């Protein structure tokens, strides 16, 4: 298995309520990671996580609309702190891009509200989509509820009926040919829609 060299969080964001902020502060269970909480002037808080090797990350949470919001980019190299951040990011529904860097390639994870939406592998000369979230159930529900096709079929039926009425009373050959041409177009479109 490839050894991870570093993990980068790019445009990472967390949005926590008062209760979630309290839970966030008490969520670190790794004995190799210590945390310090600083209260800031504007009512925000800064959570500092530091592992035994001295690597640390500062997470400044600003108060915005009754929430604690943290938005930043940072890089981690040590496994204990990296693992703690991964667990916190998923548990508290973080959003952003997380890049795991290995020797010769990178794995980019795109998170939205704590869930991985896309994974891409980049190497020196290639790019490969590993995973992409598809809301299949939601898409099927949207298709099921979408009745645009049925409305178009009803409209074509009305137009065909009107054309048939015109053809019934048409006197000259040119008018009949024009009506027949329109009827053929509508027939082809109905065939496509009803297939």
Give just the sign of the alpha carbon dihedral 22, 27, 32, 33. negative
Question: What global pTM score does this model have?
Answer: 0.67
User: What are 2-47's pLDDT values in tens digits?
Assistant: 788 999 999 999 999 999 999 998 888 889 999 999 998 888 999 9
Other CB atoms within 10 Å distance of the CB of residue 51: 20
What are the helix and strand counts (H, E) for the chain?
5, 9
First to last CA, the chain: 50
E-state strands within 23-132: 33-39, 45-51, 56-64, 67-76, 95-102, 105-112, 115-123, 126-132
Is the per-residue pLDDT at 66 higher than 70? yes
Torsion of CA 63, 65, 68, 74, to 10 degrees: -80
The per-residue pLDDT for 1 is: 63
Cβ distance 45 to 39 under 8 Å? Answer: yes
For 108: left if phi > 0, alpha if psi spans -120 to 50, otherwise beta; the answer is: beta
Q: 57: which 2 tokens? A: 């990350």
Is the per-residue pLDDT at 146 higher than 80? no
Antiparallel, parallel or unpaired: β 67-76 and 4-16: antiparallel
The per-residue pLDDT for 137 is: 82
Residue 20, CA atoms < 13 Å, CB-side half-sphere: 16
- Say how many residues make up the chain: 195
The per-residue pLDDT for 12 is: 95
The per-residue pLDDT for 148 is: 80
pLDDT-derived band of residue 149, with 50, 70 and 90 as boundaries?
confident
Average confidence (pLDDT) over 87-107: 94
Cβ distance 113 to 47 under 8 Å? Answer: no
């Amino acid at each position: 298995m490839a050894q991870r060299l570093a993990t980068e969080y790019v445009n990472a964001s967390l949005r926590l309520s008062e209760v979630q902020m309290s839970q966030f502060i008490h969520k670190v269970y790794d004995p190799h990671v210590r945390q310090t909480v600083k209260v800031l002037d504007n009512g925000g808080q800064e959570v500092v996580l530091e592992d035994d090797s001295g690597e640390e990350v500062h997470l400044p949470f600003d108060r915005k609309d009754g929430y604690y919001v943290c938005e930043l980019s940072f890089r981690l190299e040590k496994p204990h702190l990296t693992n703690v951040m991964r667990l916190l990011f998923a548990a508290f529904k973080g959003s952003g891009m997380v890049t795991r860097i290995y020797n010769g390639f990178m794995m980019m994870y795109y998170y939205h509200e704590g869930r991985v939406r896309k994974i891409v592998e980049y190497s020196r000369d290639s790019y490969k989509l590993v995973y992409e979230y598809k809301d299949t159930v939601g898409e099927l529900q949207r298709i099921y509820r979408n009745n645009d096709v049925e409305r178009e079929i009803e409209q074509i039926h009305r137009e065909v009926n009107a054309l048939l009425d015109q053809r019934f009373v048409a006197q000259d050959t040119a008018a009949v040919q024009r009506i027949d041409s329109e009827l053929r177009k509508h027939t082809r479109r109905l065939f496509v829609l009803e297939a």
